[in-house]
Chain A
Amino acid sequence: MSDQADHPSDETLADKARAGDRAAFEALCDRYLTVVYNRLRALLPPEAVEDVTQEVFISAMRGIKHYSGRSSFRTWLAAVARHKVADYYRQNSRRPETTPLDAQEHDPAAHDRWEERAIVRIALQHLPAHYQDILLLRFAEGLPFEEIACSLEITLEAAKSRYRRAVAAIAEEMEPRGE
């Protein structure tokens, strides 16, 4: 009982937030800020990450009444983030991505890292959602495979199989195209 009081479950906090408890929603924000932030770092250009992170939580706050509890709160929040990423790219499709100045001029290693991140980011966007999710869960969120399986409601064997197929799919996307 004291454990539950100290660390209420996501579903308990979500229920309270739906009932009008703002502190419960803020607790959910604190709990998932790092998760959402790292997801968006993987999917968006660096200059967009902070703004879209804020938009995700505001959107989650407004949509919490629609959270039915059928999926985990983490999964539901990931779907909100996915929609916000899609919105961002719809609104910014014409803006070319530019290398940050420090990466261009001063630090070749930073430039290489920026380029690698951009290649991975573009490849991720082309993956189906279930492949994208499992890669983000493992790398951006750092969840072990057992927790990934639990979160996705699949067996551990299925999670590892999906993971390998996701890695193969992103490898194909990252292949340079054309000669």
Chain B
Amino acid sequence: MTRNQRDTEIEKDERLAAYTDALLNSQAEPGGRISADLSAHPEEGQGEVEALAKVVKTLAQALSPHPPPDHLRLKIRRRVIAAWEQDRPAQKRRFLNLFRRPAQRWAWAAVAASVLIVAAVALLLPHIPLETSGTASGEVGVFALVAFVAMAVVLAVALFIGRRR
């Protein structure tokens, strides 16, 4: 494309854009302004831009924006709220979801039972004479072993029951 051709194309772009702006700002006169604008440069594609101006007028009529109805705004708000709660449950619901399934409840029961067993052993241990290797780590080892065995047993029971349902 030569420089002159490019300038002509840019001129056409500017003319059509200016006509569109004027039309949409309610300043263009139907069939009048665009002809007057092009009359000074009849050799510069007047016919093409005039033809496109008619299409622009059709588009402006057919696609003119309208405000949405109020009831649509309310409907969307309600649907968004409902969908939001469903997809992103509130903190409370997220907490309750941890106990939703029976297997989950059994697992949490196992954890609680283990904690209770460990606490009971910890409280009773000073009063029970234990024959250990004689180091402090021996007592901790008993704790850990008891807690581990208790948790494993209760978890196994929970999973077994959960699978059976």
Contact = CB atoms under 8 A, between A and B. Distances in A.
B87 interface: yes
A116 B56 CA distance: 13
Contacts of B55: 167, 170-171, 174
Interface string A45-81: 0000010011001100110000000000000000000
A163 B13 contact: yes
A34 B67 contact: yes
A34 B20 contact: no
Contacts of A145: 17, 21
Nearest to B91: A20
B80 A33 contact: no
Of the listed residues B59, B64, B87, the one surrounded by the most CB atoms of chain A closer than 10 A to its CB is B59
> Chain A interface: which size bin?
35 or more
Contacts of B66: 37-38, 41
Contacts of A138: 20, 24
A37 B72 contact: yes
A33 B76 contact: yes
B32 interface: no
B84 interface: yes
A9 to B, nearest CB: 20
Contact of B16 (A22, A33, A164): A164
B68 interface: yes
Contact of A120 (B59, B67, B88): B59
Contact of A34 (B12, B52, B68, B77): B68
Interface string B11-25: 011101100110010
A93 interface: no
A163 B73 CA distance: 31
Nearest to B62: A120
B68 to A, nearest CB: 4
Contacts of B75: 50, 54
B76 A54 contact: yes
Contact of A42 (B21, B51, B63, B68): B63
A153 interface: no
A160 B14 contact: yes
B164 interface: no
12 contacts: A30-B73, A33-B76, A41-B66, A50-B69, A58-B79, A58-B83, A61-B80, A116-B61, A135-B59, A167-B55, A170-B55, A171-B51
Interface of B: 9-10, 12-14, 16-17, 20-21, 24, 51-52, 55-56, 58-69, 72-73, 75-77, 79-81, 83-84, 87-88
- A-B residue pairs, 6 tightest by C-beta: A139-B63, A120-B62, A37-B68, A160-B13, A160-B17, A171-B55
